[in-house]
Amino acid sequence: MDGDEAPVTKHVSPEIIVGVAKMLGIDAVNEPEYLWIAEQCAKADLPSKDWRELTNENGETMYYHVRTKRLQKLHPLLEQYAGLYHKQASFVKMSGTTQQTDLDSNSTRLSGIITEILNRVTSHLPPMTPEMVDKVALLLECETKAEYFLARVIKQTIEAYVEKQFNLGTILQDLEKPLDFLRRMRKQQVKVDVIRKPDTVVMCQECEEKSAVVKCQQCKDFFCQDCFNATHATGKRRGHIIQDVEQLVCAACDHLIASCQCIQCGLFYCDQCFVSTHASRPELHNHLKRIINGLVCLECEHYNASVLCEDCVDLFCTECFIKLHRKGKRRQHVHLTIDNTGQVFRGGFLVPPEEAQVLTDRARSTAESGPWVAFKDDNLNTYWYNFTSKTRVMNNPYDKDPDIAIAGIEDA
Q: Could you tell me the mean pLDDT of each successive run of 10 residues in the chain, 412 residues long?
A: 50 81 84 83 78 84 83 84 83 59 66 88 88 90 83 88 85 86 71 52 88 89 92 88 85 84 84 84 80 72 79 82 83 82 80 76 59 83 85 75 39 36
Residues in the chain: 412
Write the DSSP assignment of 286-313 as a string of letters.
T--EEETT-PBPTTTSSSBP-EEETTTT
Q: What pLDDT is recorded for position 406?
A: 38
Q: Are 28 and 42 in contact (CB under 8 A)?
A: no
E strand or H helix at 223, and its extent?
A: strand 222-223
Q: Are 214 and 243 in contact (CB under 8 A)?
A: yes
Closest to 36 (Cα-Cα) out of 51, 15, 18, 52: 18
Domain ranges within the chain, ordered by starting residue:
14-192, 202-246, 247-293, 295-411
Residues 6+ apart with CB under 8 A from 42: 10, 12, 16, 17, 20
Q: What are phi and psi of 259, to 5 degrees?
A: -115, -10
Closest to 360 (Cα-Cα) out of 330, 320, 316, 411: 316
Q: Are 328 and 163 in contact (CB under 8 A)?
A: yes
pTM of the model: 0.40
The amino acid present at 303, given as its one-letter code, is: Y
Q: What are phi and psi of 256, to 5 degrees?
A: -125, 150
Q: Are 289 and 261 in contact (CB under 8 A)?
A: yes
Q: What pLDDT is recorded for position 226?
A: 92
Q: What pLDDT is recorded for position 102?
A: 45
The 3-state DSSP class for residue 396 equals: coil
Identify the burial level of 200 via C-beta atoms within 10 angstroms of its C-beta, where 0-12 means exposed, 13-18 middle and 19 or more buried: exposed
The amino acid present at 358, given as its one-letter code, is: V
Residues 6+ apart with CB under 8 A from 82: 24, 25
Q: What pLDDT is recorded for position 367?
A: 53
In sequence order, what are the beta bridge partners of 372? 386
Give CATH for domain 202-246: 4.10.830.40
Q: What pLDDT is recorded for position 67?
A: 80
In sequence order, what are the beta bridge partners of 54? 62
Q: What pLDDT is recorded for position 1?
A: 43
